[in-house]
Structure 1
């Protein structure tokens, strides 16, 4: 639900804009109001879940998410919709790390944990694509408002299942919330993400872009100093010190940079170039989703045997090849002949990447730090995704503009748009190659390590 909500409104955005009278300059806030609060508050949300109780905060955040979704669906003006999307992000910042931490502390057997992470990985990787399908269907047959209201029954079902079947867990030795660290990192991440969103309209050298990015980097540097000296840090630096986990977090950031914009480019290509409707455009993502589900299931069986390193390495290879095949794309492309093979390869690759990535990011983390460790993983993906959408959109737009100028066109046509998309896909492939190299260099875990975390885990009491 959390990942789904990051994309479900994308296809509905033209209808939302027309209905609420949102300007072209402000329409991005329907999306960024969610990602800003989600990415910026994840670390604090993870710590709250650790101390207040993961099951309790899982349920509380589900209630809050459902309420925010209901309000957003009723919004009569843009301001109320932005506020509701922001509250969804705040709720998601607690919900996501609580859910991942519950998996870590509930499934202690290595094989069962691998299966649980497979389900989580499939939902995480497939949620974005499923959101596009649902967004198209709900917009075409009902109303854009249902792209928000759909969260209410999903949340209620999750609550009904969580109450009897999920056991409570928390950090018993409560040591405080590290308020200075929480405030500093939250403001730092918010500033960076806001600066990135400004880059879409003002460019990377725009004054507000540079100011927000600079302030964010300074605040994050201050945060590191605070955490190194705090007796009860929000982010115990030992979590990052482990080579495998550090590699997982760093790779996760670059995965977000390279992967999130793919859905945006393909959506615009399907609707703006090939002329598909919103629903048809969403349905074209189903092969990608199916690939994720298939590879996630395979990974759950292989992970305890051969470990995460080469499974994820293979996943990067699948995804990169799929993106490179999209260089054949043109305004005369056919879906089955030119796009479908890439969709399948990228889907398989995402499933092979996300499941081991989640398991590695939490491997060896004590129950006391499970919430914050999962928050770091989610924050890396969300911040990376925000960077990637802004950066790759700028790259694609620049390529389209250059094509228009070089060919003396009066405006963007199908060929010009395709030039931008293929350039973006090429950069995505290059970024994912960087992520793959980082993964293979830093992650050394084997199947034996996964099967015996009592020997290899570096669990320590909270400091």
Structure 2
């Protein structure tokens, strides 16, 4: 059956198209977490310390988040399918380069290209989904699938990273993207057959440049503060540069004829709330999976395969809950479901923080893993739906870019802030002659509690910011 959406994208097989688009989104989200389990092995091979390993994650999520808004605008102008395919091709090429890396610098460069490519394909793919499914019921189902994929990708990354690293080495976490990406490139042109372009207008390159470099300076300043202290000249210089660049971004956006982020967009309180929650939840989740991977291997001494398999309960709970969220939302409402998910996520994180340096899997990890997985399944779906509901078709690319931007920028900032918190706590413990494993464990406990605080802030924002 041929489905024609007036003025938008035509697809002969909407649900098949959704499957392939969701597969591409799965890769994008997966790549932010799949390398976590491989980090100890990767660090040993490329001679990277803990701080440099954190940048392996940051080098991906920063350009991803910083360029997403520009990617959304480019998709609106040049065509969503076209930009989607360009992004997938770049992502596949960068994945190959990352797997072939012989130095830390080569790997970080490849990760940056991966992030920039993801910034093109992610908003374009979500825009295609919102245009393919226009009725309320179909769009709710499609966005339910989309939100579930985002959550599953984060959880599955830890599991798959462990399996691939143990069986084939750390390079496999990058090479796995290549065959999947090639399948997406081959099938989308046959499933999405029309790709209309929007009106031509000047792109806000200055806005994209200032926000991306500004956020990079923020993360670098936080990283420097954790190592050198806030009074160090390097830290102060980076902090001043970050403030200047972010201020320049605001000034550029206020004066641009076609701004990257029209501030009127945030007058839509539903979209504003969804993006705030994505920012906070992204920070909590990225820091969680980074710290959990290191905690399992460096504190509990799990090997890569065991560390990956131990995340099966989390991933399973996420999948199960994701399948039942749409009818729950239809019954109790979007905001109550989201608030409940965020509070549950905070509870699971506090529970995990109590695990300690000698935790057993059943007694210390199983319970919080199930709670966290279930909360993530419900939270990602409802936050995504809240962020894109009520936006016009002409701004579907912008809305899609915003929700992904919020998640990725939140991830970069959350990892920087909470990682610095954990490092500070660990350093204080070591200075007091605490055993190394115990000091690491206590540092991660602070990180998990900080992530719980971010989740609770999201719940408060969802409660306070109401639709007019």
Same structural fold, with TM-score higher than 0.5 when normalized by the shorter chain:
yes
1:439 equivalenced with 2:462 (yes/no) = yes
* 1:32/1:197 contact within 8 Å kept: no
Deviations 1:419-438 (Å, cap 9, x if unpaired)?
22222222221221111101
Report the alpha carbon displacement of residue 396 of structure 1 after superposing the two structures with TM.
1.9
Residue number among 321, 331, 334 corresponding to 1:308 in the alignment? 334
Task: Determine the structure 2 residue equivalent to 1:42.
Answer: 68
1:51 equivalenced with 2:77 (yes/no) = yes
* 1:195/1:212 contact within 8 Å kept: yes
Report the alpha carbon displacement of residue 304 of structure 1 after superposing the two structures with TM.
4.1
1:328 equivalenced with 2:328 (yes/no) = no
Report the alpha carbon displacement of residue 171 of structure 1 after superposing the two structures with TM.
4.9
Residue number among 352, 373, 378 corresponding to 2:399 in the alignment? 373
Using the TM superposition, name which of 295-304 and 382-391 deviates more: 295-304
1:32 equivalenced with 2:58 (yes/no) = yes
Task: Determine the structure 2 residue equivalent to 1:417.
Answer: 440
Task: Determine the structure 1 residue equivalent to 2:450.
Answer: 427
Report the alpha carbon displacement of residue 201 of structure 1 after superposing the two structures with TM.
3.2
Deviations 1:22-65 (Å, cap 9, x if unpaired)?
45664444333222321221211111111111111111110110
* 2:61/2:411 contact within 8 Å kept: no
* 1:200/1:390 contact within 8 Å kept: no
Report the alpha carbon displacement of residue 147 of structure 1 after superposing the two structures with TM.
1.0
Task: Determine the structure 2 residue equivalent to 1:182.
Answer: 208
Number of aligned residues: 442
SS of the residue 2:253 aligns to: helix
Residue number among 98, 103, 106 corresponding to 2:132 in the alignment? 106
Report the alpha carbon displacement of residue 225 of structure 1 after superposing the two structures with TM.
3.0
Runs of 5+ unmatched residues, structure 1: 446-463
Report the alpha carbon displacement of residue 405 of structure 1 after superposing the two structures with TM.
4.0
1:250 equivalenced with 2:273 (yes/no) = no
- Shift of the 419–27 alpha-carbon distance from structure 1 to 2, 3 Å rule, reads closer
- Superposition RMSD on alpha carbons, in Å? 2.2
- Shift of the 391–206 alpha-carbon distance from structure 1 to 2, 3 Å rule, reads farther
- Shift of the 334–28 alpha-carbon distance from structure 1 to 2, 3 Å rule, reads closer
Task: Determine the structure 2 residue equivalent to 1:453.
Answer: none
Deviations 1:56-110 (Å, cap 9, x if unpaired)?
1111110110011112212233332222111111101111111222222221112
- Shift of the 272–193 alpha-carbon distance from structure 1 to 2, 3 Å rule, reads closer
**In structure 2, how many angstroms separate the alpha carbons of the residues matched to 1:54 and 1:203?**
45
Task: Determine the structure 2 residue equivalent to 1:6.
Answer: 32
Runs of 5+ unmatched residues, structure 2: 1-26
What's the TM-score once normalised by structure 2's chain length? 0.88
**In structure 2, how many angstroms separate the alpha carbons of the residues matched to 1:331 and 1:15?**
21
What's the TM-score once normalised by structure 1's chain length? 0.89
Report the alpha carbon displacement of residue 341 of structure 1 after superposing the two structures with TM.
1.0
**In structure 2, how many angstroms separate the alpha carbons of the residues matched to 1:23 and 1:257?**
22
Alignment of 1:183-332 (within 5 A): 183-332=209-358
* 2:219/2:416 contact within 8 Å kept: no
- Shift of the 203–386 alpha-carbon distance from structure 1 to 2, 3 Å rule, reads farther
SS of the residue 1:234 aligns to: coil
